[in-house]
Amino acid sequence: MTSPTPADTLTPGKVTLLSAGPGDLDLLTLKAVKALAAADVLLLDDLANPEIVSLAPQARVIRVGKRGGCRSTPQAFIERLMRRYALKGLHVVRVKGGEALLFGRAGEEIAVLRDAGIAVDIVNGISSGFAAAASLGMSLTHRRHCHGVSFVTAHTEDHGEPDWAALAATRTTLAIYMGMRRIERIASALLAHLPAATPAALVQWAGGVDERRLLTRLDRLAADAMSAGFGSPAVILVGDAVGESARQRDATSHARTTAAIAYAA
């Protein structure tokens, strides 16, 4: 692998904000694969599958991990790297886990790059909220249970919290990101507005080889999560639509038991 060299022209290159999905490389879009193959510089997020670098054979790889509660690469430094290499005429691919436009600080990066006169491409991917629902075999929306889904981060820029009362009142499926460190507070806040038996679920490393799943109810969510040793990164799902996964699981288990009894007889 060779390091990128400055282009012979002063014409700026471009930056691609690439959504790498929840971890399974099979879930990358064809557009993502083409962008990776054309990359000169790869800025790799911690939550992306590290094997993604094999799809960018000519790129210089720079790891710019950002993880809650861990030592992270400062956002301003990442933005300077993108700007620096793009202004040399290079194609910079900023690889983000999940979907770049959802809690990925894409808005800030787009503004910085456009202010510098750098073209920005955006490649969409599968967010971990969708991957979590798929792994549970449930739909995020359901005509009998809810007519929408709310994607929300568990903390605001000033380290405050969302308006849980307002979110509970929407009666949508809540897909809560970056909430494991506050799971007790989240559950307690939602319990003030939702029934204790409201279905809830946790999916850690959704879509990856280390994926773990937990189906429970809101009043047991925090205790069950801690008892089972769940941690970040994980998506918390809350709402009646989540109950469909538990019902389907129970129905499958009942069918298998019935079949076993019939066979034994």
Strand-strand pairing, 173-177 and 199-204? unpaired
List the 91-96 sheet strands across, edge first. Answer: 60-63, 41-44, 91-96, 14-19, 119-123
Q: Is 46 a catalytic residue?
A: no
Which one from 178, 180, 219, 240 is the annotated catalytic residue? 178
Q: Is 180 a catalytic residue?
A: no
State yes or no: is 66 an active-site residue. yes
Joined together, the tokens standing for residue 161 give 């919290």
Where would I find the H helices in the chain?
30-37, 75-87, 106-115, 128-136, 164-169, 183-191, 221-227, 243-264
CA atoms within 13 A on the CB side of 27: 24
Residues 118, 86 contacting (CB under 8 angstroms): yes
Is residue 144 within 8 Å of residue 246, measured between CB atoms?
no
Q: Pick the catalytic residue: 40, 66, 88, 240?
A: 66
**Which residues participate in catalysis according to the annotation?**
45, 66, 178
